Amino acid sequence: MLLTDDISTLKNIGEQRREKLNKMGVYTVLDMLEYFPRDYEDRSVLTPIADITPGSSFGFVARLADKPTLTVKGKFKLVRAKLTDGTGQLEAVWFNQPYLKNSFQVGKDYWFFGKTSEKYGLLQVDSPEWEVYDPYKKSLSNGRIIPVYPLTQGLTQKVLRGVIKQALDTALDEVEEFLPAEIAKKYGFADRKYAVANIHFPESDNAFFKARTRLVFDELFLLQMRLLQLKGSIKKKQHGISIKNTDISPVLDVLGFELTSAQGKVLDEIKADVLSPYVMNRLVQGDVGSGKTAVALAAAYMLISNGYQVALMAPTDVLASQHFESISRLFGKLGIKTVLLKSGMKKREKDNACEDIKLGTAKMIIGTHALIQDNVEYKDLAMVITDEQHRFGVEQRRKLESKGKTPHVLVMTATPIPRTLGLILYGDLDISTIDHLPPGRQKIDTFAVNTSYHARLYAFIQKLCGEGRQCYIICPMIEENEKNDLKAAVEYTDELKSVFPQFEVACLHGKMKADEKQAIMSGFYDNKIQILVSTTVIEVGVNVPNATIMVVENAERFGLSALHQLRGRVGRGSEKSYCILVSDSKNSLSKERMKIMCSTDNGFEISEKDLQLRGPGDFFGTRQHGLPDMKIANLYKDIPILKQVQQAAVESYQKDPMLILPENRRLKQKILDIFDKNEKKLGL
């Protein structure tokens, strides 16, 4: 069997099961082999019934004392069976599986595994897994450490284990070793076949750890190699535009405030870069409100005052427009022409902006992805600034850079990046951090409440808006969905208009046209709108100092970093500000998020916690880079392996950047198989 074969070539995979597996991202036999467990259960120990206690999961062998019974209560169908093993007795209960009534034979031994509870003084095991007990046959589900997989509705662990075992039995020999032998030998890795087999059904604890270490290394190594290829980061530094004048006092005068020591330190690093003969590649990260835009303006002024052009690319029309309004006002005082280029502009406006850019009369160019369109020509582009970098793919950033002759690159993000993730995603950038807020920034009091607090919350909003303040209310959806009762922005806006008849209530969401969004944001900025109901379109960069309360409905739907970004929309003026997180979720992960949000406002702490809670998978930005979700690596736990990966990847790249040597042939093919397919799917 070939690894590229469709999963339907495996036995017992009909159309329905195939569709469910496709939904989980499993299309081929190789996908099945690389669908790694999320957890494991130790079922190697059999417990006598006499030693079983309520509240834990146990494996045991027992036989039925008599025939199972079926009880029907409305929609519920309960099958009950009395189980005994000679040391004691308990009851097994299955919900809505009536066929089980005729699935057992009295007097025959069965193996069971499930969580126990106590009901009416009797011990019971709820919906246990079961199978006929055969002490001479090795089972996939008992008598061993067994894998637990992420599932979709309609698939069981038992079925998935069987399919994966079948794939291992028929296709494991096809798994190729793509890691260069020199690297595998240096770090003492097990071979890949052994690793794939033992990540699913480990022979021992030691076999599991060897397997996981190898597979984590592989995943991070492929990722790092792809990023090195995309960025060309381990190459000789490019010669860039070197300037002589770095006096920024004129722009500081029009800003009207003193820079913090943290901002000053970052500007000194930027000055050193642009005075050197090499291209600057610098990431400036800082928490919400730390003053990154002021640093970017001062950096832009350095290049503009030397006769060059600077382009700033923002991820949304709203943010681009807001940057244009504030920057054109400031730079206008210095005689610097600023133009805006974004979707939704009239043709004449676009043509005029493009003409100014081409002739060089426009020195500061602000826009969205419109800045990288083929018809946009720059005269002397010397610096490229991207705002909220994690929202742009590598290719988009590179395309903007190609508009000039080796321009300097300044990247800004208000999403503090854990060091580990920064090393992976931005290995080609020098990282500068603005690590404290300007004086006078308000601490935002954060509270987590459930929906029973709505009446009190509305009274609080009424009080603040009555005092002249403004309010954001965030909903995770645009329109009501029949399948759930999440607060929907459009319907909720109508509801709030009747709750607050004395205030202007408006709705903002991503499906609106650009000019509609702009009109609403302008109305909110001018305090013509007091309550803005919005989706996360306002998450980044929107600056309304008069807004002092942020309410997030269904807060469990947002990750920690997103919640922190949303909270950063308030507390931007001199008035006391509040963030209220509304959630009825009983989920332990959601509760932990709410607790963290209420206990700290430090964005770096929050992003580390976010990474820790999410574990493997998509922490912000990896999809934007055309990178697939991680299947096994955990960027929080696997830092020691990551360090090995970075050393090995840099060495490999320096020796053979195009991977043309014979020993790297399979590695090159593996990278193409994984990343090219994913990038095409994402349109990058």
Alpha helices (runs of H) in 308-378, residue ranges in sequence order: 317-332, 347-359
Alpha helices (runs of H) in 468-509, residue ranges in sequence order: 489-499
**Token match 């006769």: residue?**
307
Confidence (pLDDT) at 677: 60
Smallest CA-to-CA distance from 6 within 37, 32, 35, 44 is with 32
Mean pLDDT on 213-241: 79
Domain stop point among 388, 414, 434? 434
Does the structure show a pLDDT above 80 at 466? yes
Q: Residue 363's pLDDT band (boundaries 50, 70, 90)?
A: very high
| Neighbour count for residue 248 (Cβ, 10 Å) | 20
Structure tokens at 78: 């309960």
Whether 216 maps to a domain, the answer reads no
Mean pLDDT on 419-445: 70
Does the structure show a pLDDT above 60 at 484? no
Confidence (pLDDT) at 392: 56
Query: For residue 137, what are the contacts with CB-CB under 8 A and spacing of at least 6?
Result: none
Does the structure show a pLDDT above 90 at 616? no
Confidence (pLDDT) at 420: 56
Whether 52 maps to a domain, the answer reads yes
- Percent of the chain past pLDDT 70, that is, above it, reads 87
Total domains in the chain come to: 3
- Which stretch of 249-253, 386-390, 625-629 has the lowest confidence by average pLDDT? 625-629
Confidence (pLDDT) at 485: 46
Amino acid code (one letter) for 507: C
Rg, Å, the chain Cα set: 30
Amino acid code (one letter) for 571: G
| Neighbour count for residue 259 (Cβ, 10 Å) | 19
Same domain, residue pair 488 and 422:
no
Whether 192 maps to a domain, the answer reads no
Mean pLDDT on 474-480: 68
Beta bridge partners of 73: 76
- Which stretch of 50-59, 85-94, 610-619 has the lowest confidence by average pLDDT? 610-619
CA dihedral 412, 415, 419, 424 (to 10 degrees): -70
Same domain, residue pair 349 and 324:
yes
CA pair distance 567, 542, nearest whole angstrom:
11
Same domain, residue pair 514 and 583:
yes
CA pair distance 663, 659, nearest whole angstrom:
9
544, 524 contact by CB (below 8 A) = yes
Same domain, residue pair 472 and 345:
no
Q: Residue 618's pLDDT band (boundaries 50, 70, 90)?
A: very low
Smallest CA-to-CA distance from 472 within 575, 416, 543, 413 is with 543
- H/E/C letters for each residue in 127-182? EEEEEECCCCCCCCCCCCEEEECCCCCCCCHHHHHHHHHHHHHHHHHHCCCCCCHH
Q: Residue 27's pLDDT band (boundaries 50, 70, 90)?
A: very high
Please provide residue 127's backbone torsions phi and psi, each rounded to the nearest 5 degrees: 40, 55
H/E element holding 76? Answer: strand 76-84
Confidence (pLDDT) at 562: 82
Whether 332 maps to a domain, the answer reads yes
Same domain, residue pair 525 and 411:
no
Whether 511 maps to a domain, the answer reads yes
> Which range is most confident: 335-339, 538-542, 584-588?
335-339
Q: Residue 482's pLDDT band (boundaries 50, 70, 90)?
A: very low
Does the structure show a pLDDT above 80 at 663? yes
Confidence (pLDDT) at 428: 59
pLDDT in tens, 578-590: 999 999 998 888 8
Confidence (pLDDT) at 269: 93
Which range of residues forms the domain containing residue 389? 249-434
Sign of CA dihedral 614, 616, 617, 623: positive
100, 80 contact by CB (below 8 A) = no
Q: Residue 487's pLDDT band (boundaries 50, 70, 90)?
A: low
Domain stop point among 399, 434, 469? 434
- Which stretch of 11-20, 361-370, 387-396, 557-566 has the lowest confidence by average pLDDT? 387-396
**Cα(first)–Cα(last) distance of the chain, in Å?**
32
Confidence (pLDDT) at 125: 95
Same domain, residue pair 519 and 594:
yes
Same domain, residue pair 572 and 427:
no
- Which stretch of 258-272, 431-445, 481-495, 626-640 has the lowest confidence by average pLDDT? 481-495
Does the structure show a pLDDT above 80 at 547? yes
Confidence (pLDDT) at 426: 60
Confidence (pLDDT) at 89: 93
Average model confidence (pLDDT) across the chain: 85
Same domain, residue pair 267 and 133:
no
Same domain, residue pair 344 and 267:
yes
Whether 358 maps to a domain, the answer reads yes
| Neighbour count for residue 497 (Cβ, 10 Å) | 16
Same domain, residue pair 408 and 490:
no
Does the structure show a pLDDT above 60 at 134? yes
Mean pLDDT on 535-562: 81
Query: For residue 645, what are the contacts with CB-CB under 8 A and spacing of at least 6?
Result: 217, 220, 221, 224
- Which stretch of 124-128, 296-300, 391-395 has the lowest confidence by average pLDDT? 391-395
pLDDT in tens, 69-124: 999 988 889 999 999 999 999 999 999 899 999 999 998 999 999 999 998 888 99
Please give the DSSP secondary-structure letter assigned to residue 672. I
Beta bridge partners of 505: 531
Same domain, residue pair 405 and 458:
no
Alpha helices (runs of H) in 172-291, residue ranges in sequence order: 181-187, 192-200, 205-231, 249-255, 261-275
Q: What is the CATH number of the domain that holds 119?
A: 2.40.50.140
Could you tell me the strand order of the sheet in which 444-449 lies? 444-449, 577-582, 547-552, 470-474, 531-534, 505-508
Q: What is the CATH number of the domain that holds 470?
A: 3.40.50.300
Same domain, residue pair 491 and 588:
yes
CA pair distance 211, 223, nearest whole angstrom:
19
H/E element holding 591? Answer: helix 588-599
Domain stop point among 558, 580, 600? 600
429, 227 contact by CB (below 8 A) = no
Max intra-chain CA distance, the chain: 94
CA pair distance 560, 581, nearest whole angstrom:
12
- Percent of the chain that is helix, strand, coil (3-state, to 5): 40, 20, 40
pTM of the model: 0.60
Whether 325 maps to a domain, the answer reads yes
pLDDT in tens, 137-177: 778 888 788 899 988 888 888 899 999 999 999 999 999 99
Confidence (pLDDT) at 468: 95
CA pair distance 511, 269, nearest whole angstrom:
40
Structure tokens at 199: 């990540």
Query: For residue 673, what are the contacts with CB-CB under 8 A and spacing of at least 6?
Result: none
Mean pLDDT on 423-448: 74
- Which stretch of 6-10, 274-278, 438-442, 522-526 has the lowest confidence by average pLDDT? 438-442
44, 143 contact by CB (below 8 A) = yes
Does the structure show a pLDDT above 60 at 481? no
Whether 519 maps to a domain, the answer reads yes
